[in-house]
C-alpha cells in the first residue's frame, strides 16, 4: 500500500553545490541543490536559481557561472552561503577565489572540483530562473588527479567527499560503492542481448 504525500519533488539524493557568479564586479556564491547534468557530450549542466537571488543577477549580467563542489569539511560555510544573500553580506571574502578561461565566472579554490560554465540557454519558470551551461573547463585539486595508462581519469567520488542533501533537511556524506555502471545489470541480459549490449 502507498500513502500519498503532498506533491513534492522528492528526488533523492541531492548533491550540494555552490553556484558562483560575478555581480556588480564582485564574486558571489549561493548554495544550491537544484543543479544537475543535462548531457555528457557535449558537457551540459543546469542550475535553477530563484529569480531574486543576488547570484542570479550576476549570471544574467555575464552569461557565465560556476558550479563548485564542496567537500564535507566546508559544510558550515556552505550552509551559511545558503542563508545569507550577497545583497547584505560580502561572500567573496569567505573563500580563495580564482578565475579561469571565461574571466568572470568566480570559482572557489577550497572546493575540490569546479565547473566553469557559459550560459547556452536560460528561461524563467514560476519563481525560478533556470540556466543551462556548457562546461568550458573542469578543475580538480591536483591531489585527486589520477592517471591510468597515461590518461587522466575522473577522481573517485569518495575522495571528493561531496555534501549530499535530502528533503528531510539533513546533510549526508556518501557511503560505500555498491557496483559498477553498465555492469551490474548484465546478469539479467538474455543470451541474445548479451551479444549486443546497448551502451
Ligand X SMILES: Cc1cc2nc3c(=O)[nH]c(=O)nc-3n(C[C@H](O)[C@H](O)[C@H](O)COP(=O)(O)O)c2cc1C
Beta strand 151-153 pairing with 107-108: unpaired
* Interface with ligand X, residue 18, by CB under 6 A: no
C-beta closer to ligand X: residue 155 or 172: 172
Q: Which residue has the cell 577565489?
A: 97
Q: Which 8-state DSSP code applies to residue 71?
A: B
Tell me, rounded to whole angstroms, the distance of Cα 120 from its chain centroid. 17
**By C-beta, is 116 or 131 nearer to ligand X?**
131
- Give the one residue of 27, 45, 49, 97 binding ligand X; rule: CB under 6 A: 49
Q: Which stretch binds ligand X (CB under 6 A): 5-13, 26-34, 116-124, 137-145?
A: 26-34
- Give Cα separations from 147 to 29, 139, 144 (angstroms): 32, 15, 10
- Candidate segments 44-52, 63-71, 138-146, 177-185, binder of ligand X by CB under 6 A: 44-52
Q: Residues 147-186: x/- map of binding to ligand X (CB under 6 A)? A: ------------------x---------------------
What is the rounded end-to-end Cα distance, in angstroms, of the chain?
A: 35
Q: Which is nearer to ligand X, 38 or 84 (CB)?
A: 84
Does position 44 interact with ligand X (CB under 6 A)? The reply is no
Residue 54 CB coordination number (10 Å): 21
- Candidates 26, 50, 63, 134: give the one binding ligand X (CB under 6 A): 50
Q: Where on the chain is the footprint of ligand X (CB under 6 A)?
A: 16, 28, 30-34, 48-50, 53-55, 79, 82-87, 165
Amino acid at each position: 500500500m502507498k500513502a500519498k504525500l503532498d506533491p513534492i519533488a522528492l528526488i533523492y539524493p541531492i548533491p550540494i553545490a555552490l553556484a558562483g557568479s560575478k555581480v556588480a564586479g564582485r564574486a558571489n556564491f549561493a548554495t544550491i541543490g537544484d543543479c544537475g547534468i543535462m548531457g555528457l557530450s557535449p558537457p551540459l549542466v543546469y542550475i535553477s536559481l530563484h529569480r531574486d537571488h543576488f547570484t542570479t543577477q550576476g549570471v544574467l549580467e555575464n552569461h557565465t557561472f560556476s558550479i563548485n563542489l564542496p567537500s564535507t569539511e566546508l559544510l558550515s560555510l556552505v550552509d551559511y552561503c545558503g542563508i545569507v544573500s550577497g545583497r547584505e553580506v560580502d561572500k567573496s571574502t569567505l573563500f580563495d577565489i580564482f578565475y579561469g578561461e571565461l574571466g568572470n565566472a568566480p570559482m572557489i579554490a577550497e572546493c575540490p572540483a569546479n565547473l566553469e560554465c557559459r550560459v547556452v540557454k536560460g528561461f524563467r519558470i514560476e519563481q525560478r530562473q533556470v540556466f543551462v551551461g556548457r562546461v568550458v573547463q573542469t578543475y580538480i585539486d591536483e591531489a585527486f588527479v589520477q592517471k591510468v595508462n597515461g590518461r587522466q581519469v575522473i577522481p573517485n567520488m569518495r575522495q571528493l567527499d561531496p555534501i549530499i542533501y535530502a528533503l528531510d533537511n539533513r546533510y549526508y556524506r556518501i557511503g560505500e560503492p555498491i557496483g559498477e555502471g553498465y555492469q551490474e545489470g548484465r546478469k539479467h541480459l538474455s543470451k541474445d542481448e548479451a551479444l549486443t549490449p546497448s551502451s
